[in-house]
Structure 1
Amino acid sequence: MPELVVLTEQLLAPVPGGTGRYTRELLAAMVAYAPPGWTVAGVTATHRDLRPAVVPNVAGPRALPLPRRGLTALWERGVHFWPGGDAVHAPTPLAPPARKRGRSLVVTVHDTVPFTHPETLTRRGASWHQSAIRRAAERANAIVVPTAAVAEELARYASGPATVAVVPHGVPEVFCKPMDPNEAALRAGRLRLPETYVLAVGTLEPRKGLDLLVQAMAQQHAPELPLVVVGPRGWGQVDLFELAAEYNFPAKRLHVLGRIDDEDLSAVLRRASVLAVPSRAEGFGLPVLEAMAVGTPVVHTDVPALVEVAGGTGLIVPRGDADALANALRNVVSETVATAERVAQGQLRAAAFTWEHAATELWRLHVRFFDRANAR
Structure 2
Amino acid sequence: MGQTDVGELYKRLDTTTALLKEDLDVSYMDALIETSENILDGGRVKVEGGLPHQSVRDQLSEQYALVNLNQLTTDEIRQAVQLAIIRGERTDLIQANHQMTPDSIGFLVAYLLEALADLPTQATLLDLTVGTGNLLYTVLNRLQAAADPALTAYGIDNDDTMLALAGVSARLQGLEVELFHQDAISELMVPQVTASIADLPIGYYPVDERAADFTTHAATGHSYAHHLLIEQSMRYTAAGGFGFFIVPSMIFKSAEAESLTKWMTSATYMQGLLNLPRELFHSEAAQKAILILQNKGGQAKQAQRVLLGELPSLKDQAGFRRFTAELVAWKQQNLA
Place the TM-score, normalised by the shorter chain, in its bin. 0.3 to 0.5
Higher normalized contact order (CA 8 Å, seq sep 6+, divided by chain length): 1
TM-score (norm 1): 0.30
